[in-house]
């Protein structure tokens, strides 16, 4: 499968990248020989960015081939049954050096896409309700404080990797398709979607840039008609996830490196590109491009945007509500949804019994 070749190539590129800079290293360990070189965290971020760009370009090529095959099939059907000729729609002239990069969580999608995915998994009994509540609570803490807890990040990564280990890449993609239709499609911010469409209408590429697994991010991009997605790459062998990441979660510096790498390979002029995000963690990515836009910004990003003169857009309702009211609503809505899902399953079990 294309996805499997992508992750194998990304894993190989990651090991070559590390070996080229630091010599041969034990698998799963990135130690640093040069005390004046990049930190281990920076190396992992760079590896994640390189892997994400590799995956994004390969998946984009696979999607183009799929579209071309569909077009050939349609042309063949038209030859057999011409029917009534309809005028072909003209695509916008392509702007080859400009693109837009969109963060996903709370920028394009209301809430955290990984929590929505976890809800879908819980409904299918892949996850326990307790796991879903744990995911949700960590996201609530992050949204309230605006800062990520390293222990929470490590715990979340461990749970996510333990879930996919041994599962096929095709299964994850299929689950992503189903859960997008059931949950995520209704969570897209219309205002952000309109901004993305503006770039598409101008003939520009539109990319998602997210810590969400690239397979899931690609589903969102495909459904919305975007060019592709830069996301976290999990290693796979023979179409099965190994339970290891290539580099690390695509986050912070990793996102910036992924965007920079993609721009080089796609011939983009970053000064003509635009980036959108809600989080101060994405300042490295926002600082790369000629136009940075803060969407539904957290307090730290709002401050940075004011200081740097970046545009701000806020699509949230009740934006001026008391600070304490917003976290309360988040807790009730997210955790309440998890409990409701659990009760629904229990009722179904009772009826079935």
Active site residues: 103, 105
> Which residues are within 8 A (CB) of 57 and not within 5 positions of it... i.e. 6 or more apart?
228, 262, 265, 266
Pairing of strands 240-245, 234-237: antiparallel
Distance in angstroms (rounded) separating the CA atoms of residues 135 and 335: 9
Is 201 exposed, middle or buried (CB count within 10 Å of its CB: 0-12, 13-18, 19+)?
A: exposed
> Which residues are within 8 A (CB) of 4 and not within 5 positions of it... i.e. 6 or more apart?
169, 236, 237, 238, 239
Q: How many CA atoms lie within 13 A of 50 on its CB side?
A: 18
Q: Which of 324, 348, 208, 199 is nearest to 277 (CA)?
A: 208
What separation, in Å, do the N-terminal and C-terminal C-alpha atoms of the chain show? 41
DSSP structure string for 213-253: EHHHHHHHHHHHT-SEEEEE-EEEETTEEEEEESSS-S-TH
Q: At what angle do helices 129-145 and 325-352 cross, to 10 degrees?
A: 170
Q: How many CA atoms lie within 13 A of 229 on its CB side?
A: 24
Distance in angstroms (rounded) separating the CA atoms of residues 344 and 31: 48
């Amino acid at each position: 499968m294309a996805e499997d070749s992508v992750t194998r190539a990304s894993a190989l590129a990651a090991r070559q990248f590390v070996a080229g800079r630091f010599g041969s290293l034990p698998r799963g360990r990135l130690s640093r020989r040069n005390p004046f070189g990049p930190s281990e965290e920076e190396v992992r971020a760079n590896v994640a960015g390189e892997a994400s760009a590799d995956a994004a370009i390969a998946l984009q090529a696979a999607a183009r081939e799929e579209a071309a095959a569909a077009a050939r099939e349609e042309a063949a059907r038209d030859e057999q049954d011409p029917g009534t000729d309809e005028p072909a729609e003209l695509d916008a002239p392509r702007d080859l050096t400009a693109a837009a990069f969109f963060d996903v969580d709370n920028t394009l999608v209301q809430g955290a896409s990984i929590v929505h995915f976890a809800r879908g998994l819980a409904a299918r009994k892949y996850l326990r309700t307790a796991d879903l509540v744990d995911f949700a609570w960590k996201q609530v803490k992050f949204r309230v404080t605006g800062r990520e807890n390293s222990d929470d990040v490590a715990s979340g990564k461990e749970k996510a990797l333990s879930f996919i280990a041994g599962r096929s890449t095709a299964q994850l993609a299929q689950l992503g398709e189903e859960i997008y239709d059931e949950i995520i499609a209704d969570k897209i911010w219309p205002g952000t979607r309109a901004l993305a469409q503006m770039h598409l209408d101008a003939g520009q590429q539109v990319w998602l840039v997210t810590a969400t697994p690239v397979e899931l991010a690609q589903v969102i991009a495909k459904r919305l008609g975007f060019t592709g997605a830069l996301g976290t790459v999990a290693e796979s062998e023979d179409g099965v996830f190994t339970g290891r990441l290539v580099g690390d979660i695509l986050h912070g510096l990793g996102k910036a490196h992924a965007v920079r790498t993609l721009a080089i390979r796609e011939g983009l002029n970053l000064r003509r590109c635009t980036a959108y995000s809600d989080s101060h963690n994405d300042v490295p990515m926002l600082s790369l491009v000629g136009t940075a836009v803060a969407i539904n910004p957290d307090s730290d990003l709002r401050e940075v945007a004011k200081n740097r003169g970046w545009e701000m857009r806020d699509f949230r309702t009740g934006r001026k509500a008391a600070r304490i009211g917003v976290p309360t609503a988040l807790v009730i809505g997210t955790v309440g949804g998890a409990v409701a899902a659990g009760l629904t399953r229990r009722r179904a079990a009772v009826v079935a019994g």
